[in-house]
Amino acid sequence: MIDNTKKEVRAAMLAWRKGLDAAWLATASAAIAQRLIALEAYRSASTVCLFASLVQEVRLDAVLAECRRQGQRVLLPAYRADQRVYGFKEWVDGQSLRPGHWGVPEPDTDRFATLEGTVLMVVPGLAFDEAGGRIGYGAGYYDRLLGLACGGGAVTAAGACLDAQVKDSLPQASWDRRMDFVVTERRTLDCRPMA
């Protein structure tokens, strides 16, 4: 039942995204970037994990530029074919990207990085909910990546999406990883459990 509902949400959000105006998406992405940069979790992060945007996804160029300006280490997801999972590769200034698994751009290097220090992981998705639930593309790569990352240190996960992608609630399985924050062009949702 959960899987069928997730498929319906994915299909609806993919269809909706096809109609987005590129100029509007650029403006919304700039607003999302400013909200991400305003997070205390961003300001205190020594490492920021971003994603290279696919067509019709939020663009994080302004966050990348601020990371470069602040001297923060930037990592992007990269596929580990030998293990069939995603890890991270460091993206240094001036380094080109190459198409990886599923055509997802990743740094043009064979070296994988480890997460060190205080980390902000910015996560894409097709839909999020107000409690930090997320629906991705369906392969579970980010859930596994978050599971590995969050097991070892101070990692804060922030979903980045358009406000129309935020729903009241989404079906979640036991292995789905919730976000600490969900950031849109209109609002920042703090989804961390109340102390």
Residues 107-161 pLDDT 10s: 999 999 988 889 999 999 999 999 999 999 877 788 888 876 654 457 899 999 9
Query: How far is residue 140's CA from residue 151's CA, in Å, rounded to a whole number?
Result: 17
Q: Are strands 181-183 and 85-90 parallel, antiparallel or unpaired?
A: unpaired
Every domain of the chain and the residues it spans = 2-190
CA atoms within 13 A on the CB side of 141: 20
Section 31-41 average pLDDT: 98
Query: How far is residue 190's CA from residue 192's CA, in Å, rounded to a whole number?
Result: 6
Helix, strand, or coil here: 41?
A: helix
pLDDT of residue 145: 82
pLDDT reading at 1 higher than 50:
no
CATH number assigned to the domain covering 2-190: 3.40.50.10420
List b or e across 130-143, with b for residues whose CB sees 16 or more CB atoms inside 10 angstroms. eebbbbbeeeebbb
pTM greater than 0.85: yes
C-beta neighbour count of 102 within 10 angstroms? 10
